[in-house]
């Protein structure tokens, strides 16, 4: 038996029980701390902060990338706070983590994690169909996975703007050339030339890395459509902004 859920207080609970765990049980609780980092604590200069806020305001399609526990969702939630509260926000998740309560037209949709949908929940395909019919200003996805990668690509292919999501990857190059391909392939779907697809439809990839001192920092910003780095290894590149 596998259980993924959010506990009271926003703490993430993950548990696997049975023969797949040699000890009989494998579990983790990722505590949600009340601490909210500032832009400076992300290693973000005022110049880069203005760039990111402008990208969100212009309805750029944005992916926040990083390894496990690097603060991807935390950064995405920070970006959401820069949007006006009257925007129509639709969040598609399987675990509620995105902060959309401040938007009076914010809608949180939850997908079933099981192949046979239960408890009145529907799957990613149904969520995608519904989302396309309710005229969102911004479509948000939580962590891109084998279950929702195809829905994310379908949303991008619909011509939406203001798309935002997070993904497990170590670099913008991995985001474009490996991670979506991997997740779609594992899901058993077929879609050709995904890297070219991502390069064409994603405006900005924001890379986060956790350093040895435990701090999470924005290290790279890559404009996929333009094929250029704005920030690389923590340094503004070329003519910069």
The model carries a pTM of 0.87
User: Residue 150 belongs to what H/E stretch?
Assistant: helix 149-157
Q: For residue 8, is pLDDT > 90?
A: no
Give 94-118 pLDDT, tens digit per residue: 878 899 999 999 999 998 876 665 5
Query: How distant, in Å, are the alpha carbons of 24, 68, 93, 168, 189 from that of 3?
Result: 14, 19, 15, 20, 25
- Name the token pair of 125: 């395909």
* Backbone angles phi and psi of 64, in degrees to 5: -100, 120
Domains of the chain: 1-34 (no CATH), 37-236 (3.40.50.300)
- Joined together, the tokens standing for residue 101 give 């309560």
Paired with 223 in beta bridges are 228
């Amino acid at each position: 038996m596998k259980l993924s859920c959010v506990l009271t207080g926003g703490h993430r609970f993950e548990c696997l029980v049975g023969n797949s765990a040699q000890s009989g049980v494998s579990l983790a609780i990722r505590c949600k701390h009340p601490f909210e980092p500032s832009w400076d604590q992300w290693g973000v200069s005022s110049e880069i902060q203005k760039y990111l806020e402008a990208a969100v305001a212009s309805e750029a399609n944005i992916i926040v990338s990083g390894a496990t526990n690097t603060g991807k969702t935390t950064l995405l939630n920070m970006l959401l706070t820069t949007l006006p509260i009257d925007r129509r926000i639709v969040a598609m998740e399987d675990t509620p983590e995105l902060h959309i309560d401040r938007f009076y037209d914010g809608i949180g949709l939850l997908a079933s994690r099981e192949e046979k949908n239960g408890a009145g929940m529907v799957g990613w395909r149904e969520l995608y169909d519904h989302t396309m019919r309710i005229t969102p200003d911004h479509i948000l996805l939580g962590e891109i996975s084998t279950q929702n990668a195809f829905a994310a690509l379908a949303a991008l292919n619909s011509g939406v703007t203001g798309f935002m999501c997070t993904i497990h990857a170590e670099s913008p190059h991995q985001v474009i050339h490996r991670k979506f391909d991997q997740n779609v392939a594992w899901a058993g779907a077929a879609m050709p030339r995904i890297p070219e697809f991502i390069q064409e439809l994603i405006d900005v990839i924001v890379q986060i890395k956790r350093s040895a001192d435990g701090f999470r920092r924005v290290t790279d910003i890559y404009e996929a459509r333009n094929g250029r780095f704005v920030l690389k290894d923590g340094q503004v590149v070329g003519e910069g902004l």
